[in-house]
């Protein structure tokens, strides 16, 4: 046998070993994908890991942080609208800027405590009771089970905003692990958004232009919200999970 043959044989065996390992790795990956698709290894929803009030608190903390960072500094003598569920968190802040008109629309059964200088109504996000191009700025909290068809909500925002009017919108992240069926369920059964590109399509239809986008996740900034043993375990499981999507939009002239 040629003296070089053992070396060639070792190289050949090494190559074959790496090839087999790669095939095994691909097979494991394919098996994992199949298990997820067939439900053999289901991913737990956020609602199954946290009580709804706790989950809603996390969503509001992240969403309100984005809104606070993007609110214009000078809204004096402007017409401003805030829509959402239950308490509208920015009514007091907005009223302090001395707007010309400050309105709120809530979809909850109860009206929140009134804020001086603000008119808050109960209504539908899909049929806002205002005339066309009335508001210079609108803050929209869409992370509610009462959201309904979000396409209609965006159309309404585009309708009531003035030319170049500003909209600050917080919605459920389309890739968030929210329950798609059963109860408890936080995201509306009518929610049809499947990806980020859907927002660009909606905005075009609603005469809105997206100026900025931010994603909010379960991350270390929320770590202090998880206190009990069960909550800490839940945090470890869902850390890195998308929660909300924030959009800064402007009405096209």
CATH code for the domain of 151: 3.40.50.150
25 and 65 together in one domain? no
pLDDT tops 60 at residue 111: yes
Is 65 in contact with 122 (CB distance < 8 Å)? Answer: no
Selected residue with higher pLDDT from 122 and 223: 223
Mean pLDDT within 69-93: 92
Q: Mention every residue, 6+ apart, whose C-beta is less than 8 A from residue 186.
A: 46, 47, 52, 55, 56, 143, 145, 172, 178, 179
29 and 90 together in one domain? no
Mean pLDDT within 95-108: 91
Q: How far is CA 224 from the centre of its chain?
A: 21
pLDDT tops 90 at residue 20: no
- Taking the C-alpha atoms of residue 95 and residue 81, their distance in angstroms, rounded to an integer, is 11
Q: Mention every residue, 6+ apart, whose C-beta is less than 8 A from residue 102.
A: 80, 82, 91, 94, 95, 115, 117, 118, 119
pLDDT confidence of residue 187? 78
128 and 217 together in one domain? yes
Average predicted confidence (pLDDT) for the chain: 82
- Taking the C-alpha atoms of residue 41 and residue 52, their distance in angstroms, rounded to an integer, is 24
12 and 57 together in one domain? no
Is 244 in contact with 59 (CB distance < 8 Å)? Answer: yes
22 and 147 together in one domain? no
175-227 pLDDT per residue, tens: 998 887 777 777 776 667 778 889 999 999 999 999 999 999 999 999 999 99
38-47 pLDDT per residue, tens: 343 445 789 9
The count of structural domains within the chain is: 2
pLDDT tops 90 at residue 16: no
Q: For residue 12, what are its two tokens? A: 């050949």
pLDDT confidence of residue 236? 94
15 and 103 together in one domain? no
117 and 234 together in one domain? yes
pLDDT tops 90 at residue 124: no
Mean pLDDT within 44-51: 89
pLDDT tops 80 at residue 105: yes
pLDDT tops 90 at residue 112: no
Q: What percent of the chain has pLDDT over 70?
A: 77
Indicate the length of the chain as a whole number: 253
Residue 220 burial by Cβ neighbours in a 10 Å radius (0-12, 13-18, 19+): exposed
SS3 content of the chain, % helix, strand, coil (to 5): 40, 25, 40
37 and 120 together in one domain? no
Residue span of the structural domain in which 181 resides: 46-251
pTM score of the predicted model: 0.79
238 and 158 together in one domain? yes
pLDDT tops 50 at residue 74: yes
Neighbours of 33 (CB within 10 A): 11
Residue 233 — pLDDT band, cuts 50, 70, 90?
Answer: very high
15 and 101 together in one domain? no
DSSP 114: P
24 and 8 together in one domain? yes
77 and 30 together in one domain? no
132-186 pLDDT per residue, tens: 999 999 999 998 877 667 888 999 999 999 999 999 999 999 999 888 777 777 7
pLDDT confidence of residue 225? 96
Is 185 in contact with 78 (CB distance < 8 Å)? Answer: no
């Amino acid at each position: 046998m040629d003296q070089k043959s053992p070396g060639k044989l070792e190289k050949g065996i090494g190559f074959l070993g790496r090839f087999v390992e790669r095939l095994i790795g691909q097979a494991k990956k394919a098996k994992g994908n199949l298990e997820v698709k067939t439900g053999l290894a289901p991913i737990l929803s956020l609602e199954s890991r946290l009580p709804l009030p706790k989950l809603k608190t996390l969503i509001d903390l992240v969403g309100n942080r984005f809104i606070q960072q993007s609110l214009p500094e000078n809204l004096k003598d402007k017409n401003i609208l805030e829509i959402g569920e239950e308490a509208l968190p920015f009514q007091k802040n907005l009223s302090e800027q001395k707007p010309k008109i400050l309105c709120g629309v809530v979809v909850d059964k109860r009206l929140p405590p009134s804020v001086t200088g603000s008119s808050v109504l109960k209504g539908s996000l899909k049929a806002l009771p205002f005339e066309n191009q009335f508001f210079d700025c609108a803050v929209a909290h869409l992370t509610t089970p009462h959201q309904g068809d979000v396409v209609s909500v965006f159309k309404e925002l585009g309708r009531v905003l003035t030319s170049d009017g500003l909209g600050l919108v917080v919605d459920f992240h389309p890739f968030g692990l929210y329950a798609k069926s059963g109860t408890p369920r936080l995201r509306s059964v009518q929610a049809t958004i499947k990806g980020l590109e859907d927002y660009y399509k909606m905005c075009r239809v609603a005469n809105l232009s997206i100026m900025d986008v931010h994603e909010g996740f379960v991350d270390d900034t929320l770590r202090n919200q998880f206190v009990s043993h069960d909550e800490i375990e839940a945090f470890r499981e869902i850390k890195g999970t998308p929660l909300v999507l924030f959009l800064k939009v402007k009405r096209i002239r």
